[in-house]
Structure 1
Amino acid sequence: MARRRQLETPSPEALKEIEAGIDRDLARSPGLRPPIADVVADAAQHASPLPQADRESIARDKADAERLRDAEGKGLVAVEIPLEEITADALNRDRIVMDEEELQELMTSISVNGLRLPIEVFEPLNPEEAGKYALVSGYRRLTALRRLNALSGERFRTIPAFIRAPGTIANAMVAMIEENEIRSGLSQYERGRAAASAVHDGVFPTVDEAVAVLFQNASKAKRSKIRSFALIHEELGDMLSHATGLNERQCLRLASALRCGGADRLRAALEQAAGRSAVEEWEAVLPVIEDSEGAPQDLSRGGRPKTGQKVERSRRTQVANGITIEREFGPAGYAIRFSGAEVTAELVDAVMDNVRHLLENG
C-alpha cells in the first residue's frame, strides 16, 4: 500500500519567492495579464483624490439636484411667467365680483413687499385657444399684477407661479373653488353659478354631478342648497345684476318660487323693475315669491317637497243653538272656528264686531 505524503504549509519566504516568480512570468508574457489590471493600475497611478470637504460638497450638490428635479416634477417649484402668457378666463371663473377696496390694498401690498404667494397655472391641451398657461387659482393676484404693470411698465412683467398638472378640467375647477372657499368664501349665488356653468361648458353632464364633484367636501345639506342656487343662475342669471348680494335665505325662497313655476313672472318683474341694487331687485321679485309660497312645487326641478305644518286645535266648546267654537293655531297664527247648522255669515260678523269692540276698549 502506497504511503500518503503529508502536506506542509509553505513558509513566508517561500510565498514571497512564488509571488516574485509569477510577476516575472507575467512581465515576460504580457498576453497573460488581464486588460482590466492595466486600466486599474493606470487609474491608480494618475488618481488625485479630492479632499474630504470637497467630496462632501459634491455629494450634497448631487442630492440637492435630485430633490430639485423631484420637486419640479411635482409642481412644487415656482417659476416666473410673463403676464401675457397667462389666460385668466380659460376656466369659467367661480368668483364674479371683486371688492375694489380690497384689490387696491392688495396692489399696495405687492408694490411694497412683493407677491408673497405664487398663483397656480396649468398647460392646456389647446394652447392656441387657451394660451400657453391657463389660470387655476390667484385671479385677484393676477389682476393686481396686471394693473401694476399697466401703471409702472417694466417692473411687474412676470408673476411667480406653480405649474400644476390637474389631469382634467374638472380637477382644475375643483382646485380653483377650494382655493377661493379657503381664502375668501364665495357668495351663495357664485357657488350655484360655478356648478351651472360647468354643466354649460360640458365639463359635467348634470348639475347634480357638478355639485357632487366641485363641492365634494361640503355637507349633504350644503350641496342641496348649492343645487338650488344653480337653478337661480339657469333661470335668472341673465336678468339678475346684483345676484351676489342675495343672502342664503333669499336665494332659497327664490329657488322655491322657480320650482313652483314662477320663472316667467319673476323675469317679467325683474325686467320691469331694472333694479339698481340687490335691495331693489329683491323688492321687485318679493311679491311673486310670496304669491308662490303657497303653491305646490314641481318636484322635477329638485328641492325638498314642502311638508304641511301641523295645526294645533283646542277642545271644542258647545254653546247655544248647537253651535261649537274651537281655537286653532298654525303657521298663519290663531283662529277661532265656528261650526254648526245655525252658523251664518251674519253671526260671524256680529262676533267679529264684538271682538273688535273688546280689543279697542281694553
Structure 2
Amino acid sequence: MAKRPRLEAPSADDLARLEDEFRRETSPRNPLAAPIAQVAADSAAQHDPRGAEARAEIARDRADAERLRGAEAAGLVMIEIPLEEIDADAIVRDRMALDEAEMTELQLSISEKGLRLPIEVFEFRDGQSGPRYGLISGYRRLRAFHALRGLSRNPRYDRIKALVRDPEAMGGTFVAMVEENEVRANLSQYERGRIAVLAAHQGAFANVEAAVDALFSVASKAKRSKIRSFAVIFEELGDMLSYPEALREKDGLRIATALREGHGPALREALADLTLDTATEELAAIDEALTLLAPPERDPARGGRPKAPSQPRPTRSRSATLPTGFTLHSGCDAKGWYIRFEGDRVSGELVETAMRELEHLLGPA
C-alpha cells in the first residue's frame, strides 16, 4: 500500500511572500478601484466609436499636418506676404544699381505672366516694430511689384509670393543673398568686393578676409584673390569713384596693386578735382594717374637680380594747342619721352624740319 504524502502547513514567511506576489500581479492601477472598474476603464479608453473611414481620414490629416510642419521648418512652403511686411533693406545689398531697361522688362513679364519665382525672406525674431520679414533674395522682383502697384493700383500686387527661410541654416543672411545673386545675377568684381567689406564692417565676419572666404566659399582661390583686390579699391577709393562697377578686371588689379604700394593719396588727389560724365572718362583719368606714379622702391631684403634704373617720369603729361591749329603732346611711356604733333596742317615736311631742329638742339655744342 502506497504511503500517503504528508502535508505541511506553510510558514508565516511563506504566506507573506505569496501574498506579496499576488498583490503585484493582480493589483489595479488605482488601488481604490475595484478590479472590474479598472477593466471597464481600459476597455472604454481603447474603444473608438468612429467608423473605419473616419479614423483613416483623421490619420491622414495628422500625417499631413506633420508633413506641413516639416516643410515649413525647411522653408519649402510658399506664402503670400503684404509688401509692407517686407524690409527690402534689412541687409546691405550686393547689387549696386538696377538697370532701367531690365527692370521695365521684368515688370512687363510679371504683369503678363505673373511671378514665376518667389522671393526669399527671413522672419525677424527680436520682436522689433515695423516689418515682420527681411529680404534675402529677390530684390528686383520686390521692386517690380512696388512699381506695378504704384502704376496700376491693382490689388493683385499688394502681396507677393515668398519662401520663409532660416538664414542661419543657410549660412547667414549675407551668404544666402550672395549665393542667390551669384546664380541669377551678373555681379561685377567690384560689387563682390564691396559686399565683403560691408559685411565685415557690420560685424557679420571678423574681417574682410574672412568675409570673402565665407561669402565666396565655392569660388576658386584665384577668384577670391581678385575679389579681395576689388575690396581694397572699395575701401580706399569707394567714395571717389562714380562708375566703379564698370572697372574691368585688369584695371581693378592694376589699381589694387598701386593702392597696396601706398599710392592711395596720389590717386585720390588725381580724382578729386575732376568732373567725369562717363565711365570711359573716369577710367582714362585713372589710367593717366597710374601712368604718372613712380615705381615702388625695391626692398633689398627680398633679393633678386638688380634691375636697371628706369627712366624718370614727368610729374604730369603736357598738351598745348597753338593758334596756328597745331596741338603738341608730350609725355613718357615705357620706351622713354615722346612729343606728338596733331592737326590738319601737320605734314612730313614739318616733322622733318622739327627733327632737324631737335638734332641741332641736342647735338654737340
1:228 and 2:263 are equivalent in the alignment: no
How far apart, in 1, do the equivalents of 2:170 and 2:58 lie?
42
The residue that corresponds to 1:80 in the other structure is 80
Gap change, CA 1:129 and 1:168, over 3 Å in 2: farther
Out of 102-111 and 120-129, give the one that drifted further: 120-129
Aligned to 1:145: 145
Letter in 1 for 2:276: G
For 2:267, the aligned partner's letter is L
Q: Which amino acid aligns with 1:73?
A: A
- State the secondary structure of the residue aligned to 1:163: strand
Structure with greater helix share of residues: 1
Contact 1:94 1:194 in 2 (8 A): yes
Q: Does 1:136 align with 2:136?
A: yes
Question: Does the CA-based 8 Å contact 1:262-1:288 persist in structure 2?
Answer: no
Q: 1:192-245: per-residue Cα shift (whole Å, max 9, x none)? A: 100111122222231111111111111111111111100100111111111111
RMSD: 3.3
The structure-2 alpha-carbon separation of the partners of 1:296 and 1:201, relative to structure 1 and needing over 3 Å to count, comes to: farther
Whether the 8 Å contact between 1:170 and 1:203 is mirrored in structure 2 is: no
Query: For 1:114 and 1:290, how far apart are their aligned partners in 2?
Result: 52
SS in structure 1 at match of 2:160: strand
What is the CA distance between 1:268 and its match in structure 2? 2.2
Q: Provide the residue aligned with 2:201 in structure 1.
A: 200
Distance 1:32 1:289, change over 3 A: closer
Query: Alpha carbons of 1:263 and 1:310: their partners in 2 closer, same or farther (altered >3 Å)?
Result: closer
Q: Distance in 1 between matches of 2:44 and 2:122?
A: 53
For residues 1-362 of structure 1, what are the structure 2 equivalents within 5 Å? Answer: 1-2=2-3, 34-39=36-41, 50-52=51-53, 54-126=54-126, 128=128, 131-153=131-153, 154-167=155-168, 171-292=172-293, 294-296=295-297
Aligned AA (1:243):
P
**Segment of structure 1 superposing worse, 201-210 or 80-89:** 201-210
Distance 1:309 1:222, change over 3 A: farther
Q: Deviations over 1:225-283 (max 9, x none)?
A: 11110010011111111111111111111111212222122222222222112111100
Aligned counterparts of 1:235 and 1:169: Cα–Cα separation in 2: 31
Q: 1:42 to 1:270 in 2, by over 3 A?
A: closer
Mean alpha-carbon deviation: is it higher for 202-211 or for 234-243? 202-211
Equivalents in 2 of 1:264, 1:214: separation in Å?
Answer: 30
Is residue 170–residue 176 contact of structure 2 (8 Å, CA) maintained in 1?
Answer: no
Query: Aligned-pair distance for 1:188?
Result: 0.9
Secondary structure class of the residue paired with 1:34: helix
- Which amino acid counterpart does residue 149 of structure 1 have in structure 2? R
CA distance change for structure 1 residues 262 and 56 in 2, over 3 Å: closer, same or farther? same
Amino acid at match of 2:202: D
Give, in whole Å, the separation in 1 of the partners of 2:298 and 2:185. Answer: 34
Matched residue count: 281
How many Å separate the matches in 2 of 1:159 and 1:208? 36
TM (norm. structure 2) is 0.68
CA–CA distance in 2 between the matches of 1:200 and 1:43? 62
Q: Deviations over 1:25-67 (max 9, x none)?
A: xxxxxx97612443467789x9655255x54443322221210
Instruction: Give 3-state SS (helix, strand or coil) of 1:155's partner.
Output: helix
Query: 1:310/1:263 Cα in 2 relative to 1: closer, same or farther (>3 Å)?
Result: closer
CA distance in 1, matches of 2:298, 2:96: 30
Q: Summarize the Cα distance change of 1:310–1:220 in structure 2 as closer, same or farther, 3 Å threshold.
A: farther
**Which structure 1 residue ranges, 5 or more long, are not aligned?**
5-30, 299-304, 312-331, 334-352, 354-362
Distance in structure 2 (CA, Å) of the matches to 1:81 and 1:249? 44
Moved more, 284-293 or 229-238: 284-293
CA spacing shift, 1:33–1:202, aligned 2, 3 Å:
closer
Shift of 1:167: 2.8
Q: Is the 8 A contact 1:169 1:203 kept in 2?
A: no
Give the 3 Å change call, closer, same or farther, for CA 159–280 of structure 1 in structure 2: same
Whole-Å separation in 1 of the counterparts to 2:144 and 2:298: 45
Question: What TM-score comes out, normalization by structure 1 length?
Answer: 0.69
Partner of 1:358: none
Task: Give me the whole-angstrom Cα distance separating, in 2, the residues matched to 1:216 and 1:175.
Answer: 12
Which 5+ residue runs of structure 2 have no aligned equivalent?
Answer: 6-32, 309-333, 336-355, 357-365
Closer/same/farther in 2, CA of residues 179 and 309 from structure 1, 3 Å limit: farther
